[in-house]
Amino acid sequence: MRQDDSDCDYVIVGGGTAGWITAGVLASRFPRRGAEGMSITLIEARGLPPIGVGEGTWPTVRSTLKQIGISETDFLRECDASFKQGTQFFNWVDGGDADRYYHPFTLPAGYEDKNLAPYWLDGPKSSSFAASVCFQTALCDAGLAPKLISTPEYTGLANYAYHLDAAKFAPFLQKHCVEKLGVRHVYDEIVRVQSDETGDIAYLDMKSGEQFAADLFIDCSGFSSLLIGKHFGVPFLAQRDCLFIDRAWAVQTPYATEDAPIASVTQSTALSCGWVWDIGLTTRRGVGYVFSSAHVSDDAALEELKRYLAAKGDATAALSFRKIDINAGYRQEYWRRNCVAVGLSAGFLEPLEASAIVMIELSAKSIANLLPGCRDAMPRAAQLFNETFRYRWERIIDFLKLHYVLSGRTDSPFWVDNRRSESIPESLRYSLEYWRHHCPWHEDFSHREEVFSAASYQYILYGMGFETETPASLLNDQDRPLALEKMNETARHAKALQSSLPANRELLAKIRRFGLQKI
């Protein structure tokens, strides 16, 4: 490795979402390239296509795309993308008719310095927790967009992310990275990994006979985990005992009419042995049932998904259903010697709460921040990266499991088994015990950049009817009127936006025609 990061050669293995986001983040961060500067080469095997699923994102993706230099208008147009303002959960609590709640992206009112949750819990609860503290639920109920045509790119009147066509996203990023950022793109298949005498990866032997050497190899090879898993043999820590989902049926379904509304949330509906994602793009919906094969057969799960679709008015006869295996877990290390894993090669849990692409973004940014100036400094960069991402995987598991633990469903062993204490991480059990007497708040989390903050925990806990017995000493009589005023203000703000924001589909169509104002 040379003295200066900007002189190094980076090889990225894999041309899925992970590979191209990582290429884009690194290339935009270190623009000086060419004979004198850094080189970034991305290799992918033509015969091994990217996984082609992963349509829900997290609001961080806006700053990632902006950093890479992508226009929001181009992205929305070319990836058939739509606005996502959070997730709406159906049938997760008891499966009854009124069983629904939101996890919106906009933070609760006063979130910087005022915890409204104790005051909502101590009040009449005339509307749901999320609706009381966050104006965004009203926008989602009404199917509205989070911005106006005059709102500049990447800014919004409510916090938002996107739903996107995964099969179009990677090629879209590829074009930008190659044409605008100077990333070299090679179609070839790795057949052997060659080490040097220290154990570092020296170069990759390709099917074509070519060899690729690099200072740092970034493993974005998906579930095959070629470098970190197969070459280095870093153990895979399976999480199957905690998160039971291990299979998916995925399908794409057309809208009934060209002007059918586009939901601006991911709809997540609990079924007997898992849950269904339902995501509206501009051109079609992407739907899938993730389930536990220990609790339901593939055939029965497919029938259940078809019943879900039929109830939504979808004709299922002509649809083509794809089965995908999921092995919940992550690697014991992500950065070993001169190799770091990003994306599915590092791990995957399940798509509830769309935490995979955000982990890719965080990994890519972290690599860019930690890149050591010389090989001698790499062990410390690896150690910091490994500690941070181990913490993140563990916290994501806590957050995903929370949804299952709080469910009161008893209609199948899947839901009952999910509440067995031996399947619940100790860290989550401790937190839940604490939150019985204390509403989640900033101090409960130790990292500066948490994937799921106190706000997310509040939305899930109180959306699912969790009881916190707030001690009277924590309710301040001076703050109470302030808290009530913030909730009233939330309702007024929701009303004002409801009368000014366009429907999701209407805005997306306008953007296709006129584009958004660049910033």
Beta strand ranges found along 221-307 (DSSP E): 236-238, 247-253, 266-271, 274-280, 285-291
Residues in CB range of 447: below 8 A, 6 or more apart: 388, 391
Of the pair 17, 128, the CB lying nearest ligand FAD is at 17
- Provide, rounded to whole angstroms, the least separation between the CB of residue 286 and ligand FAD: 9
**Closest CB to ligand FAD among residues 109, 301:** 301
- Which residues of this protein are in contact with ligand FAD, per CB under 6 A? 13-19, 43-45, 48, 50-51, 53-56, 166, 189-190, 220-222, 224, 226, 248, 250, 288, 324, 326, 343-345, 348, 351, 354, 356-357
Q: Which is nearer to ligand FAD, 136 or 221 (CB)?
A: 221
Cβ at position 45, least distance to ligand FAD in Å: 4
Nearer to ligand FAD, 111 or 217 (CB): 217
Q: Which is nearer to ligand FAD, 288 or 440 (CB)?
A: 288
Residue placing its CB nearer to ligand FAD in the complex, 51 or 142 = 51
Q: CA-based angle 362:367:370, to the nearest 5?
A: 120
Could you tell me the two tokens for 476? 């301040």
Contacts of 209 (CB under 8 A, 6+ apart): none
Element (H, E) at 249: strand 247-253
Q: Which is nearer to ligand FAD, 1 or 245 (CB)?
A: 245
Q: Which is nearer to ligand FAD, 109 or 352 (CB)?
A: 352
**Residue 107 beta carbon to ligand FAD: minimum distance, rounded to whole angstroms:** 21
- Residue pair 343/14 in contact by the 8 Å Cβ criterion: yes
Encoded tokens for 288: 């899938």
CB closer to ligand FAD out of 287 and 344: 344
CA distance 134 to 158: 10
The set of residues, in sequence order, having a beta carbon less than 8 Å from that of 467 and lying 6+ positions away, is 121, 436
Q: Which is nearer to ligand FAD, 192 or 447 (CB)?
A: 192
Closest distance of CB 71 from ligand FAD, Å: 22
CB of 162 to ligand FAD, least distance (A): 10
Which of left, alpha, beta for 199 (phi over 0: left; psi -120 to 50: alpha)? left
Closest approach of ligand FAD to the CB of residue 213, in Å: 16
- DSSP per residue over 70-96, as a string? --HHHHHHHTT-EEE-EEEEESSSS--
Interatomic CA distance for residues 255 and 135, integer angstroms: 28
Would you call 365 helix, strand, or coil by DSSP?
A: helix
Distance CA 310, CA 3 (A): 61
Tell me the backbone φ, ψ of residue 482, rounded to 5 degrees.
-65, -45
Question: Do residues 114 and 482 lie in contact, with contact meaning Cβ atoms separated by under 8 Å?
Answer: yes
Burial class (CB in 10 A: 0-12, 13-18, 19+), 351: buried
- Asked if residues 117 and 439 have their Cβ atoms less than 8 Å apart, the reply is yes
Closer Cβ to ligand FAD, 308 or 441, answer by number: 308
Shortest distance in whole angstroms from residue 189 CB to ligand FAD: 4
Considering the complex, state which of residue 53 and residue 305 has its C-beta at the smaller distance from ligand FAD. 53
Rounded Cα distance between 86 and 104, Å, is 4
Give whichever of 34 and 47 is closer to ligand FAD, judged by the CB atom: 47
Q: Give the H/E segment covering residue 384.
A: helix 378-405
Quote the least distance from Cβ 184 to ligand FAD, whole Å: 14
Query: Could you tell me the strand order of the sheet in which 322-325 lies?
Result: 100-104, 86-90, 266-271, 274-280, 285-291, 247-253, 322-325
Token output for 138: 């009203």
User: Minimum CB separation from ligand FAD for residue 357, in Å?
Assistant: 3
Least distance from ligand FAD to the Cβ atom of residue 185, Å = 11
Beta-sheet pairing, 216-219 with 339-341? parallel
Shortest distance in whole angstroms from residue 242 CB to ligand FAD: 18
Residues 361 and 344: their CA atoms lie apart, in Å, by 13
- Which residues are CB-neighbours of 96 under 8 A, at least 6 positions away? none
Rounded to whole angstroms, the Cα distance separating 297 from 299 reads: 5
In the complex, least distance from residue 207 CB atom to ligand FAD, rounded to whole angstroms: 8
End-to-end Cα separation, the chain, in angstroms: 37
